[in-house]
Amino acid sequence: MAAVTEQAPVTDVNPKLDADPVSCVPWPIPPPNPALEVKYTKMFINNEWYDASGGATFNDINPSTEKVTARIAEASEADVDKAVAAATAAFQPGSPWRKMDASDRGVLINKLADLIDENKYYLACLETLDSGKPYTHTFFMDTTGISKLLRYYAGWTDKMHGKTVPVDGDYLSYTLVQPMGVCGLILPWNMPLITMGMKLGPALACGNTVVIKPDENTPLTALFLASLTKEAGFPAGVFNVVPGGPTAGAALVNHHGVQKISFTGSIEIGRKIEEASSKTNMKRLTLELSGNCPNIIFADADLDYAVEQAHQAVFMNQGQMCTAGARTFVHEDIYDEFVKKSVARASKKMVADPFQLYSEQGPQISRKHFDSIMGYIKAGKEEGAKLECGGSRHGDKGLYIQPTVFSGVTDEMKIAKEEIFGPVQCILKFSTIEEVVERANNTQYGLAAGIFTQNVSVALEISKALESGTVWVNCYNAFAVQSPFGGLKMSGKGKEMGEESLREFSEIKTVTLKLPQIQNISFKSNAVRQYSGST
Ligand code: NAD
């Protein structure tokens, strides 16, 4: 992979490298500020900022440079207790939050979305600084994503209602849709803002209070959002943030005052959360876990389009996507051509400082994760896959990895069996529909899948047969706030986004009243018809 300065830009998005940066993208975008001030580093509890108990802090590292961006308060068990106590108090009957009309909750959530839009530039720069995601992505995708999610759920606040139920006997029975209480939202580092929006939107829309634990690699945007909730006018205790790592996460999961955990992360920690929940107070759980998704390219697909889509399916977000279409299954008739074109595309990918507007791929999130991806690349080579391009670090500073393509990958190889979560495309060959469906499903994961074909019948049949929570046909990562998303099998349980997510953050209560029928009213007489004016 050539260094950025030696290489011509390759996509429509960055037509001229030597141009004024702002004209490098076709849409208006303010030039980024890599030297922005980090405004918030403390815990946010009850609408106030606190140091962690004992003054504990941890380093927030910039993955582009591996230098410390800021020192962040590290929440202990006692700090999590304090946050849960604040969220519990805010949830008490008669509190401002509980007394608020549902429609006014919607107004508040929309106000928060307005403030996000007003602060879009700062938030995008902050997310890029913290996560290494290209600024063009954080500006156009992540900040827009959380704002859209919040607005979608703001619209739901006064549209969730129960039913009247036609029960037997002299009873009136109806259901109420009610909030659960204190919800712990545990976030990953790969999509900090968007995963926060997926959880926060429905949690607040349903009337819950939240304690958010951002990932220790990316705490900054959750803390900035906290300042916006205060500015928007959310009552104290409704929104709390406890930065930290596994200790803070486990404290939240083990807490008897927390009714619900919505978690995005690894299967390993998802399992721990299930166990801890069953040993404490049987929390309601939504678990969005790992994936190793198949993307199936048939011989009749539009080849150039499929190559580009399959490339984006793997390499988007530095390959750090739970939905990454890392197992690219390609029909034997087009296999060689597909590999050639995919290698050409990956070799031209612009790996660069994420604050450069032409950057398509920034650094990996952490040294630990960088080493893990390099370990997978080594295993691919050792197990006999053909390294077509990439395979090494990019440059000599920061956690950049060359876009890597392996051909000749077989199902038994480690790189095909496990989630790499990095910029590594594994291209596998298949012959028949039956074979590819069986191989695609032969995994513990079941998050998402892609199909590229012009044959609608094939696409629809395979969509039914694939064991995954989402199937994209002739597109990939086509998320929409209105459509539910979530994994099957070991990829998790529960849904985020769409109406379905509201069920994850609410409880149904049945209320039944004894209503004996009034015996002296007769509906048999003409009186009823006369009363209603009929002849
Ligand atoms: P991880 O599971 O190690 O960490 C995720 C979060 O859990 C972090 O906030 C972390 O501090 C916290 N945590 C760690 N130990 C904990 C404990 N004992 N109790 C409670 N919380 C704890 O995740 P990771 O490996 O850093 O992230 C990558 C994984 O996340 C990948 O496997 C990826 O597929 C998955 N992911 C899934 C989705 C999805 O929607 N399905 C989205 C993004 C990422």
Q: Cα separations (Å) of 235 from 147, 158, 469? A: 20, 19, 36
Q: Which of 127, 216, 288, 504 is catalytic?
A: 288
Between 128 and 529, the higher pLDDT residue? 128
Q: 217 in ligand 1 pocket by Cβ < 6 Å?
A: no
pLDDT beyond 90 at 146: yes
Nearest protein CA to atom 39 of ligand 1, as residue: 288
CA angle at 339 for the pair 26 and 314, rounded to the nearest 5°:
50
Determine what percent of the chain is predicted with pLDDT higher than 70.
92
pLDDT beyond 60 at 9: no
pLDDT beyond 60 at 129: yes
- Position 527 confidence tier, pLDDT thresholds 50, 70, 90: low
**Which residues are within 8 A (CB) of 516 and not within 5 positions of it... i.e. 6 or more apart?**
170
pLDDT beyond 50 at 121: yes
- pLDDT recorded at residue 165: 98
Nearest protein CA to atom 19 of ligand 1, as residue: 250
- pLDDT recorded at residue 86: 99
Cα 190 to ligand 1 centroid, rounded to whole Å: 9
3-state SS assignment for residue 256 = coil
Q: 190 in ligand 1 pocket by Cβ < 6 Å?
A: yes
CB neighbour burial string for 67-90, b if at least 16 within 10 angstroms, e if fewer: eebbebbbbbbebbbbbbbbbbeb
Label residue 244 left, alpha or beta by phi (over 0 means left) and psi (-120 to 50 means alpha): left
Q: 307 in ligand 1 pocket by Cβ < 6 Å?
A: no
C-alpha span between 168 and 309 (Å, rounded): 56
Cα 427 to ligand 1 centroid, rounded to whole Å: 27
The tokens for 378 are 């080594």
- pLDDT recorded at residue 523: 67
Cα 247 to ligand 1 centroid, rounded to whole Å: 13
Mean pLDDT to the nearest integer, 195-221: 98
Active site residue 322: yes
pLDDT beyond 90 at 17: no
Cα 288 to ligand 1 centroid, rounded to whole Å: 9
- pLDDT recorded at residue 352: 97
- pLDDT recorded at residue 359: 96
Q: Which of 183, 322, 389, 426 is catalytic?
A: 322
Cα 266 to ligand 1 centroid, rounded to whole Å: 4
For the full predicted model, state whether its pTM sits above 0.85: yes
pLDDT beyond 70 at 259: yes
Enclosing H/E stretch for 89: helix 77-90
- Position 529 confidence tier, pLDDT thresholds 50, 70, 90: low
- Position 517 confidence tier, pLDDT thresholds 50, 70, 90: confident
Cα 186 to ligand 1 centroid, rounded to whole Å: 8
**Site to substitute for ligand 1 among 60, 187, 190, most atoms within 8 A of C-beta:** 190
Q: Cα separations (Å) of 370 from 367, 401, 500, 527? A: 5, 8, 35, 83
Query: What DSSP character marks residue 141?
Result: I
Mean pLDDT to the nearest integer, 456-467: 98
pLDDT beyond 50 at 100: yes
The tokens for 208 are 């819950």
pLDDT (tens digit per residue) in 389-415 = 999 999 999 999 999 999 999 999 999
pLDDT beyond 60 at 285: yes
Q: 419 in ligand 1 pocket by Cβ < 6 Å?
A: yes
The tokens for 187 are 């976030």
pLDDT beyond 80 at 522: no
**Site to substitute for ligand 1 among 130, 220, 266, most atoms within 8 A of C-beta:** 266
- pLDDT recorded at residue 27: 77
Residue 171 bridge partners (DSSP): 514
Neighbours of 55 (CB within 10 A): 8
Lowest mean pLDDT among 81-90, 265-274, 296-305, 508-517: 508-517
pLDDT beyond 90 at 4: no
- pLDDT recorded at residue 530: 52
Q: 241 in ligand 1 pocket by Cβ < 6 Å?
A: no
Nearest protein CA to atom 11 of ligand 1, as residue: 245
Between 24 and 68, the higher pLDDT residue? 68
pLDDT beyond 60 at 23: no
Q: What does the DSSP assignment read for 307-348?
A: HHHHHHHHHGGGG--TT---EEEEETTTHHHHHHHHHHHHHT
Pick from 93, 194, 130: nearest CA to 485: 194
- Position 11 confidence tier, pLDDT thresholds 50, 70, 90: very low
Q: What is the rounded end-to-end Cα distance, in angstroms, of the chain?
A: 89
Cα 136 to ligand 1 centroid, rounded to whole Å: 25
Q: Computed over its alpha carbons, how large is the radius of gyration of the chain?
A: 26
- Position 262 confidence tier, pLDDT thresholds 50, 70, 90: very high
Pick from 91, 146, 100: nearest CA to 260: 91
Q: 288 in ligand 1 pocket by Cβ < 6 Å?
A: yes
Active site residue 475: no
Q: 246 in ligand 1 pocket by Cβ < 6 Å?
A: yes
Determine what percent of the chain is predicted with pLDDT higher than 90.
91
**Site to substitute for ligand 1 among 77, 130, 290, 317, most atoms within 8 A of C-beta:** 290
Mean pLDDT to the nearest integer, 301-316: 98
Cα 117 to ligand 1 centroid, rounded to whole Å: 27
C-alpha span between 469 and 288 (Å, rounded): 11
pLDDT beyond 50 at 3: no
Residue 509, burial from CB neighbour count under 10 angstroms (0-12, 13-18, 19+):
exposed
Q: 421 in ligand 1 pocket by Cβ < 6 Å?
A: yes
Average pLDDT, the chain: 93
Mean pLDDT to the nearest integer, 217-226: 98
